[in-house]
Amino acid sequence: MKLATLAHRVVLASGWRRRLIALGAGALSAFAMAPYDLWPLLILTFPVLIWLIDGAGAGTAGVRSAFGAGWWFGFGYFFAGLYWIGMALLVEADQFGWLLPFAVIAIPAGLALFPALGAAISRLMWTSGPSRLFAFAVGFGTTEWLRGHMLTGFPWNSYGYALAAMPVIAQTAAFVGLWGLTFLTLVTLASPAVLADGREATSRPWLAPLLAALTLVVLALIGAHRLATIEVGRVEGVRLRIMQPNLPQDEKFRTSAKQAVMDRYISLSDRATGADTRGIRDVTHLFWPESAFPFFLEREADALARIADLLPPGVVLVTGAVRLEEARSGEHEPKVYNSIRVIGDDGAILATSDKVHLVPFGEFLPFQSFLERLGFEQITRVRGGFTPGSGRRALAIPRLPPAAPLICYEVIFPGQVLPEAKRPAWLLNVTNDAWFGNTPGPHQHFAQARLRTIEEGLPLVRAANNGISAVVDPLGRIVRALPLGQDGVIDSILPMPIEPTLYARFGDGPVLVLALLFIMLVLIVRRSNKRSS
C-alpha cells in the first residue's frame, strides 16, 4: 500500500475506526521507552497522529475531533507504558487489590487529557504542509511540560526520553533539558507524515524528513564531540559501595522480618568482591536503599549497634529510613518522613534529609483527613500520610562533597533536583522499586535519573532495593551498575562534576525560545496562506 493511500485512509477514518487507530498508535509508541528503546517506532506512530489531526476538520468540531484523537492516543500510550503501576496494589492485594482498575485504567485515562489538549492546541494552529509539524510540536510539547508541573507533576515517559536512549543525542539535554529534547523529538520524528502530502500542498515532500534527519545527525555529532572531549575526573580518597538487597516488597515492610532484613544487609554489605578484596574494609562510604528498615531506626538501639559493629573506623553509611517525629503540643499525630540518614561508625546519626516531593496516593492522599475518615489510606499505610520536608537542601556527608539528596521519584523532575543555594557536586538517589517487580517501571525510572546527570552536569549515585543501582558520570555514562532483580554490591569511584551546563544555568529559558520560534514559523505560514488565498 502506498503511503499516500494509507494516510488518506487514516484522514478519512471516523467513528470506532478512528478511535482504534489512535489507540493502537499510542500503545505502539510506548515501546519507544525503556527498557525497549524502540524509538524508530515514533517515525511510524507520530505521522498517524498528524494524519488524524488532518482529518479532524475545521472549526469547533475539528478541535473537538482532534481532542478525541489525542485522548485515545494518550490512553493507549499510558495504558501500555504504565500498566506496571498496578503491581504496587498487589503487594497487599487484600487491602488494595480493588483499586487495580483505577491504577491501570483511570490513571491512563486522566493522563490522556494532556495529549488530548495537545492535539486540540495543535488543531487551532494547524496549517497545511510541513509547517504543521511545528504546530504539532508546540501543542504536544507544551502539554507535556504542563504534565510535568500540574497537580504536583508527573513527567514520566515524556517523548524526549525516546531519543535520549541514544547517548550521543541524549547530550542535547545539557543544552535544552528534557523539554527541549521533547520538542525536537516531536518535530523530527513526525516529519515522515509530510511524505504523504500531495504536490499541491507540498512541492518537495522529501525536504522535511531530510532536514529532520540532518538535525538528528548534527545533534549526534555535537553529542559525540562532547563525549569525546569533556574529561571527567574522580574524587580522590573516596571508594563507594552500594548494597542492593533485592528484598521482596511484602518482606521489606514486615515488622516481624526486621532481624532477617538486618542480617541480609550486614552480610551483603561486607561481601568480598574478589579474591584480593576485604569487603567493607575496602571502601569509605556504604549506601543502602530507600526505606531500608521495617521499623523506625531511632527506636531500635540494637539496629544502630549492629551498624556500628559493621562499619570500620572512618566508614560512613548513607541509607534511606522512615523517620518519626513525635507529636508536638497541640498536634494529635506524630509526623512521619521518608528520609535519608547519614550514620557514623559509632552508630550516631550525623545528618538527615527529608523527602520534599511526595507521591500522591502512595505517600499521601489529597484531602488526607477527609478521605481517611471515609476509610481510605495511601499504599504505604501511614496514618496521616507522610509529611514533606521543608525544602530542598544539600546533604553533608563526611569526606564527600555536598550532595543533592533525591528520594525515589524526586529524581524524575527536570530542573527541580538541586537545592536553591550553592550547587552540590553530585546527585544521590535512593529508591525502592520493588513495588513494581520485574516490569518496565524500574528501567524507565533509571533512564530518567540518568538524564538528570546530563542536564545538570553532575554524577549520580543510585541505591535501589531491587535495582537498578548504579554510579553514573556527569555525561550520563554508567560507571558501575547492578541489574534489576539481582542482589549484591558494587564498588565504585565517585566521578567529579563538570562545569554547569547551559540547562543548569538557564533552565527552561532556551526551550521557551525554541517554542516561540516554532510558533512564529506557524504564524508566518498561516499569514502567507491567507494572502495567497
Q: List residues with catalytic annotation.
A: 290, 355, 408
Question: Which three cell numbers, joined as nine digits, stand for 373?
Answer: 475518615
CA distance linking residue 29 with residue 42, whole number of Å: 6
The torsion of the CA quartet 87, 91, 93, 95, rounded to 10 degrees, works out to -120
Cα-Cα-Cα-Cα dihedral sign, residues 10, 15, 20, 26: positive
CA distance linking residue 408 with residue 143, whole number of Å: 24
- Measured at the alpha carbon of residue 37, what is the angle toward residues 35 and 42, in degrees to the nearest 5? 135
Can you point out the beta strands (E) in 449-509? 460-464, 469-472, 478-482, 488-492
Can you point out the beta strands (E) in 31-146? none
Number of H helices, E strands in the chain: 20, 11
CA distance linking residue 47 with residue 51, whole number of Å: 6
* DSSP character at residue 354: E
Burial of 239 (0-12, 13-18, 19+ CB in 10 A): middle
- Residue 486 CB coordination number (10 Å): 12
CA distance linking residue 284 with residue 96, whole number of Å: 42
Phi, psi of 336 (to 5 degrees): -120, 130
Burial of 158 (0-12, 13-18, 19+ CB in 10 A): buried
CA distance linking residue 53 with residue 71, whole number of Å: 12
Q: Distance of CA 102 to CAs 6, 23, 105, 387, Å? A: 36, 19, 5, 25
In the three-class reduction of DSSP (H, G, I as helix; E, B as strand; rest coil), residue 214 is classed as: helix
- With contact defined as beta carbons under 8 Å apart, do 289 and 431 qualify? yes
| Cell 563538570 found at | 498
CA distance linking residue 214 with residue 211, whole number of Å: 5
In the three-class reduction of DSSP (H, G, I as helix; E, B as strand; rest coil), residue 503 is classed as: helix
- Residue 243 CB coordination number (10 Å): 28
